[in-house]
Structure 1
Amino acid sequence: MPDTTLADLAHEVRSKNAGPFWVTMEVFLRDAEGYRIAADESFLNERVIAELYRVEESTVQVFRIPSLNVVKISFPRPVSQGSLRDRDMHAGQHHVPLARLPVGRDDR
């Protein structure tokens, strides 16, 4: 059986522009248990996001919102919105590596 991913714990994992120079991703967890796993700083933190998205760790911002079971993440876009090298004008696909992040190994 495959590993459980962050997307398996969530209603939705999405990304969007936060202006022309930043990306924001949001993870809407199904329940308090999923939030407990996703919000754990040893699991999801600035270092993990920096490695996933190849950005400087010091530029990553992680916001945990327990009353909504939401984790929000922001970091600078790799290229500015609308530039010649921009391949995702609305940052709508940036969430995929985060959604695929394994949360642990299932028993085999």
Structure 2
Amino acid sequence: MIRLSDVCRHIRSKNAGPFWITVDLFFANPDVFERWAKSPALQASELAKQFEVDASLVRIQILPELATVKFSYPRKEPQGGRVERDMHGGQQFVRILDLELTR
């Protein structure tokens, strides 16, 4: 199987305000982007499972001119809350590095 980390040159996550996280998937090149950007594993329902959120709240942007997919989802707890474990949201992408892609 092909993993997300096999087809992206860079994957990052970051805050999108105190209540949201955004993940950026920078594909290796436009051809790889065309092949994998619309994989079933990168649909809202599947991403919601990975981050344990309601699928109706996952927002996806497909940016072919940048060979990038961006998606945002709500944090379980607000940034800076007493149970916060990743203040900047910079470690949230790790759980999808081994996400298996299909076409």
Specify if TM > 0.5.
yes
* RMSD of aligned Cα (Å): 1.3
Deviates more, 1:42-51 or 1:21-30: 42-51
Pair 1:71-2:69 in alignment: yes
Structure 2: gaps spanning 5 or more residues: none
| SS of equivalent to 1:43 | helix
> Given residue 59 of structure 2, which amino acid in structure 1 is its aligned partner?
Q
Tell me what 1:95 maps to: 93
Tell me what 1:85 maps to: 83
**Larger radius of gyration between Structure 1 and Structure 2:** 1
Tell me what 2:11 maps to: 13
CA contact (8 A) 1:38 1:71 kept: no
Q: How many residues align?
A: 102
Deviation, 1:41, is: 5.0
Change in 2 beyond 3 A, CA 1:33/1:43: farther
Q: Mapping of 1:22-101 within 5 angstroms?
A: 22-40=20-38, 42-101=40-99
More helix by share: 2
TM-score by length of 2: 0.91
CA contact (8 A) 1:9 1:30 kept: yes
| SS of equivalent to 2:91 | coil
Which consecutive aligned stretches of 4+ in structure 1 deviate over 2 angstroms post-superposition?
none
CA distance in 2, matches of 1:103, 1:87: 28
> Given residue 32 of structure 2, which amino acid in structure 1 is its aligned partner?
G
CA distance in 2, matches of 1:37, 1:97: 22
Any idea what the Cα deviations from partners look like across 1:1-58, whole Å, max 9, x if unmatched?
A: xx43111111100000001000000000011232123321533110011100000000
